[in-house]
């Protein structure tokens, strides 16, 4: 039975998976649909070089389930569902050597920094919809996520243009 860590953000689920290993290697069950409230409809694989930062992204209608099969990532999360003030934030490490999944509900901004060369597999509850793709600057001073990087990260053009947190730009979440 996976061990669930209590998150600082309501609805975020951090599950350390059970691993069964022997001299042949290891096995772990990543997710079981009966343990999820939603149905996941698409699975994606992202590969990043060390120093790449993806995010912060958020969605009105899509939940994510992340798993790192290779490498090490720092994950940054920020709860944008309650308008105004300073949102709850969280930073955690996902490491392929310690299999873990992170469930991220709609309205929680999320991003990750590749601390090593990194593979992330993630399931989503909605097929890709560009109208539900939103972002906040990775280095927003209100969120103040303590990224473990000394230099500027490698960003996509889109992520480099993400604005700082402005509650007037954040949509309502249901």
Q: Catalytic residue among 57, 59, 110, 134, which? A: 57
Question: How far apart are the C-alpha atoms of 70 and 115, rounded to whole Å?
Answer: 11
Question: How far apart are the C-alpha atoms of 76 and 102, rounded to whole Å?
Answer: 11
User: By the 8 A CB rule, do 107 and 165 touch?
Assistant: no
Residue 58: active-site member: no
Question: How far apart are the C-alpha atoms of 106 and 126, rounded to whole Å?
Answer: 11
Question: How far apart are the C-alpha atoms of 91 and 50, rounded to whole Å?
Answer: 18
Q: Catalytic residue among 58, 67, 112, 122, which? A: 122
Question: How far apart are the C-alpha atoms of 106 and 109, rounded to whole Å?
Answer: 8
Residue 67: active-site member: no
Per the listing, tokens 């060369």 go with 117
Tokens found for residue 93: 């490490």
Q: Known catalytic residues?
A: 57, 122
């Amino acid at each position: 039975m996976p061990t669930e860590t209590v998150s600082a953000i309501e609805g975020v689920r951090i599950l350390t998976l059970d691993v069964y290993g022997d001299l042949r290697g290891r096995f772990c069950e990543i997710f079981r649909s009966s343990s999820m409230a939603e149905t996941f409809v698409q699975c994606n694989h992202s590969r990043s070089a060390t120093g790449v930062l993806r995010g912060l992204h958020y969605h009105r209608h899509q939940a994510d389930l992340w798993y790192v099969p290779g490498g090490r990532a720092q994950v940054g999360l920020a709860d944008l569902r309650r308008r105004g003030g300073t949102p709850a934030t969280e930073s955690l490490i996902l490491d392929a050597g310690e299999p873990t999944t992170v469930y991220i509900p709609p309205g929680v901004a999320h991003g990750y920094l590749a601390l090593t060369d990194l593979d992330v597999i993630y399931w989503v509850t909605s097929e890709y919809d560009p109208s539900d793709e939103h972002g906040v600057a990775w280095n927003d001073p209100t969120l103040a996520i303590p990224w473990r990087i000394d230099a500027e990260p490698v960003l996509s053009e889109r992520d480099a243009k993400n604005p700082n947190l402005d509650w007037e730009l954040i949509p309502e979440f249901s």
